[in-house]
Structure 1
Amino acid sequence: MKRFLSAFLISFYLIFNTIGLKCAFSQSNIYAQGIYTLSDFNTSKTSTFTIQNVSRTEHMYLFVFDENLGVVELLRLPPNSPKVDTVPIDPDYTILLIGKGELYLTPINA
């Protein structure tokens, strides 16, 4: 009986401990508040992106700055916003995300 109970508890622990694990090499397209460059999005050439605020309650702001820190684009995205395309973003641009939500960001294949 003790062996059965210990085997059951060990298997129970292993089953529920592996749920929710992510692969170490998986790449997520969801980004939170922060400062990013184009290399953070796994692309090194000028690219246009589709963005969407995927949080349910929080607004997000997206700023795109050029190399001289001039504002190229400013977007305010409400919660559960529809998908929006950005202006073409050069590799030397800086992207600033502000807000408590999360943005889903994917490059558009040209």
Structure 2
Amino acid sequence: MKKFILLFSISILLLFNLTLSTFAANIFKEGVYKAADFNFESENTYSVQNISQKDNVYVLLFDENQLQMQAIRLGPQSKKYNLLPLKPDYRIVIVGNGDVFID
């Protein structure tokens, strides 16, 4: 019985760590990102959300010709906003001290 409890506890711990690291992989700080670097699929629709407690964030989307396609201002603890469909050459610019979750 002790072995079962130990194995079950270890399994739950590993599952929790795997889920946490998957979630953390989609959190971005201020910077310029290329959509191809994150394996975004062009046929999928993605959304952005500011998950920080007190900081505002601006999310800008540029196409392959550096033309601005979309601009979103996200307040603290914002709701999710849809991004335009992403192509591999698009750039995502995040300005501000907040944390942006993209899914």
What is the CA distance between 1:87 and its match in structure 2? 0.9
| Cα RMSD (Å) | 1.7
Shift in Å, 1:47:
3.5
1:85 matched to which residue of 2? 82
Contact 1:51 1:104 in 2 (8 A): yes
Please report how far the alpha carbon of residue 50 of structure 1 lies from its aligned counterpart in structure 2 after TM superposition: 1.1
May I ask how many residue pairs the two structures share in their alignment?
Answer: 83
**Number of the residue aligned with 1:30:** 27
- Which residue, 64, 85, 93 being the options, matches 1:96? 93
TM (normalized to structure 2)?
0.72
Structure 2 counterparts to residues 1-110 of structure 1, below 5 A? 26-27=21-22, 28-106=25-103
| Cα distance in structure 2, aligned partners of 1:47 and 1:93 | 14
Between the aligned partners of 2:51 and 2:35, the Cα distance in structure 1 is 21
Contact map agreement 1:47 1:90 (CA 8 A) in 2:
no
What are the ranges of 5 or more consecutive residues in structure 1 without an aligned counterpart? Answer: 1-21
Conserved? CA contact 2:54–2:76, under 8 Å: yes
How far residue 44 of structure 1 moved from its aligned partner, in angstroms, is: 4.8
Aligned equivalent of 2:5: none
With structure 1 as the length reference, what TM-score do the two structures score?
A: 0.68
Structure 2 gap ranges (5+): 1-16
Q: 2: distance between equivalents of 1:69 and 1:31?
A: 21
Percent of pairs with identical residues? 35
Per-residue CA deviation, residues 2-37 of structure 1 (Å, 9 max, x unaligned), is xxxxxxxxxxxxxxxxxxxx77xx441100001111
